[in-house]
């Protein structure tokens, strides 16, 4: 199972909207923090067009060039709003 699918499976174990720490995911999935962050960013990008999941990452800063010390992920079943209605 890919790391992205493992992350989604772990997030499914929590209530919708429950923030899960990136460090927790890395420990739980026996992966590195860097690998989890990369996988979550891929999920965040790809799930913007998915009807089932939207994965949200909350960093200390919005600037993706600034490596976050911690991040949190949660799932929502709500479809993202179109920024250009």
Which CATH code for domain 3-76?
1.10.10
Question: Tens digits of per-residue pLDDT, 15-33?
Answer: 888 889 999 999 999 999 9
**What residue segments make up the domains of the chain, in order of their start?**
3-76
pTM score, two decimals? Answer: 0.75
Q: Which carries the bigger pLDDT value, residue 46 or residue 60?
A: 46
Sheet holding 54-58, edge to edge: 20-21, 72-76, 54-58
Q: What is the pLDDT of residues 34-49, one digit of tens each?
A: 999 899 888 887 765 4
CA 43 to chain centre: 6
For residue 50, pLDDT over 60 is answered with: no
């Amino acid at each position: 199972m890919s790391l992205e699918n493992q992350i989604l499976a772990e997030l499914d174990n929590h209530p919708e909207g429950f923030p899960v720490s990136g460090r927790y995911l890395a420990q739980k999935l026996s992966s590195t923090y860097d690998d989890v962050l990369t996988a979550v960013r891929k999920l965040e990008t790809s799930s913007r067009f998915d009807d089932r999941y939207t994965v949200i990452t909350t960093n200390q800063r919005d600037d993706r060039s600034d490596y976050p010390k911690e991040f949190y992920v949660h799932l929502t079943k709500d479809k993202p709003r179109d920024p250009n209605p």
